[in-house]
Structure 1
Amino acid sequence: MDQELATLSIARTPDRARPLVAKLSGTTDIRASWNRLSIDDRKTVVNALMTVTILPVPASVQRRFQKELIRIDWKTPS
């Protein structure tokens, strides 16, 4: 995650997320900084940096959590 945050163009980050992303990318301990954020702030950062897609569960698969059914695509500056 360090590289993705370091290379992110903060200028293209939505206004609400900009200070949060700057705070995270400017720290040496991103995990600790992340843990101090509120749930709402975490959602804001996730929405600014990535698109999270939960894929449909195939009928032949047990209905339990499967990380393979979660797709994360990093947003790129346009």
Structure 2
Amino acid sequence: MEETIEKMWQMYDVDEDGYLNHDQARDLVISTLKDMKIPTDLLSDEAFDAIFEEFDQNGEGIVSKDAIVAFFSTFMDFCHSE
């Protein structure tokens, strides 16, 4: 999974500042889910927004790669609990 995230990160962190804004992060997550053959309908807009807020710890509207990896770990745990 981390290899897939790394590949996608390089595509979406176009300014190479090490962070993604909300829209970039959502696009990365959706693309990664599709790449992993996970139905994207499992992640509603509201759920993504809530999780993004949780991982945007300083409220600046951006997340790091580590936060995205943590997001996927949380999301995969959620998927396996359903």
Higher helix share: 2
* Bigger Rg, which one: 1
Higher strand share: 1
Looking at both structures, which has the greater relative contact order when contacts are Cα pairs under 8 Å and sequence separation is at least 6? 2
Considering the TM-score relative to the shorter chain, is it more than 0.5?
no
TM-score (norm 1): 0.28
TM-score (norm 2): 0.27
